[in-house]
Amino acid sequence: MRALTAKQWAWCFYDWANSAFALVCMTALLPPLLVQAVNRELGPPAGTVVWGWFATAGLAVSLAVTPLVGAFMDARAKRLQTLAALVVIGALACSFIGLLLQGHWFWAGVAYVFGATAFALGNVAYDALLLGVARGEELDRVSAWGYSLGYVGGALALVLALRLWQGGHTFVAFAAVGMWWTVFSVPLFLLVPEPSVGKPHPWQVLKESIVQLKRNPNAFRFLLAFWLYNDGIGTVIKMAGAYGGELGIPLGHIVGALLLAQLVGVPATLAFGWAAPRFGCKTLILGALAVYVGVAFWAARLSHAWEFWGLALAVGLVQGGAQALSRSLFARFVPAGAEAAFFSFFDVSARLAGIAGPAIFSLATHLVGSPRAGVLATMGFFVAGGWLLSGVREPKERSGLLP
């Protein structure tokens, strides 16, 4: 197995960088803290409901503009410049979260929305840059390494933020997340090349990309499948901490269990990347979705802290692999010259999932009066997404040029 090149490592380290925001602000620390703040004022289960709507808003803002932003980056070769601006916005949002969380939970949630929007749009540029550093079977391996480094970086950033928060330095804890995101993004900007301009105008790139997608119903079916099953994965990521906090699981157990998921996720994701050429991306993703169905059944009956640890372990074994192979599988559908535009469709699918999942989770929790209903509602997305994915024909090579 050939070693990664310098530019491939630099690309992977952006996962290390932005996973600090994903784990600290989306999953482990901010959700239970905000749930506690809301419940003190409004009473349970208002905290889980409110966090679910903030998580929804954090992705909804980016949804409408994502395809045009992707087309603009292709047409003007502005992927790196756009990503740099979004990293700065995300880092500033982290600082405002820390500044406002104690005593102003609503405005801390608004700051989170800005950060999550920057995170989501930044991933359009980042994912598109994968096709400039890897090709063929390298896609699975490099994508898996990215997610694996993300697990390590996110875990270390969470430990740092938790220690600072426990020391009474809430602002510094979240500001450090923004600094982490910024500093560890630098290798990508120094070493990863900006792909050449694909088309003269963003609207032209977007139009031709839509035509290409219409000509490939297999790619479209994959996007629908990804939308559905990634809805479940995204909901687990965003609601796990809030769910545990709502059930009264101590914050120490929540953070510890999520750190365990990060730890086991590193070798597990690399194993998915190693196994993909042998078994195929689709087969491995379907296996991961079967695990998620079991996790949802178990989570709906959760009552002890040790069970939260068990669920985190199970999720850690499959989460990174499912996401990494989804990214590399879709890359094989992408025509040259429309990397960001096509990946904008991929990320729109992810954003739709991020909107629907937490929203349905919150709605079910509100209607039934228990977050366990939200867990059961989420399970349907894994089943439906897996069924659609089973009908996708997995391409072996990347698509050709745009006409």
Per the CB < 8 A criterion, the answer to whether 143 and 327 are in contact is: yes
Give kind and range of the element (H or E) at residue 310: helix 305-331
Question: What would the pLDDT profile of 75-90 be if each residue is shown by its tens digit?
Answer: 666 788 889 999 999 9
Interatomic CA distance for residues 351 and 348, integer angstroms:
5
Neighbours of 166 (CB within 10 A): 11
Residue 373: the pLDDT is 79
From 139, 150, 149, select the one nearest 339 (Cα to Cα).
Answer: 139
Between 196 and 150, the higher pLDDT residue = 150
pTM of the model: 0.72
Residue 137 backbone dihedrals phi, psi, to 5 degrees: -70, -15
Per the CB < 8 A criterion, the answer to whether 124 and 70 are in contact is: yes
Cα–Cα–Cα angle for 148, 77, 122, nearest 5°?
35
**Rounded mean pLDDT, 233-248:** 75
Q: For residue 131, what are its two tokens? A: 């096709």
Between 336 and 264, the higher pLDDT residue = 264
From 105, 326, 125, select the one nearest 225 (Cα to Cα).
Answer: 326
Residue 402: the pLDDT is 36
Interatomic CA distance for residues 17 and 142, integer angstroms:
16
**% of the chain with per-residue pLDDT over 90:** 29
Residue 35: the pLDDT is 87
Top-ranked range on mean pLDDT: pick from 228-232, 283-287, 399-403: 283-287
Between 239 and 168, the higher pLDDT residue = 168
What is 69-92 written as a DSSP string?
A: HHHHHHHHT-HHHHHHHHHHHHHH
Residue 76: the pLDDT is 63
CATH 3.60.140.10 fits 6-389, yes or no: no
Residue 400: the pLDDT is 41
DSSP 24: I
Interatomic CA distance for residues 110 and 299, integer angstroms:
29
Question: What would the pLDDT profile of 115-165 be if each residue is shown by its tens digit?
Answer: 998 998 888 888 878 878 887 678 778 888 888 899 899 999 999 999 999
Residue 198: the pLDDT is 52
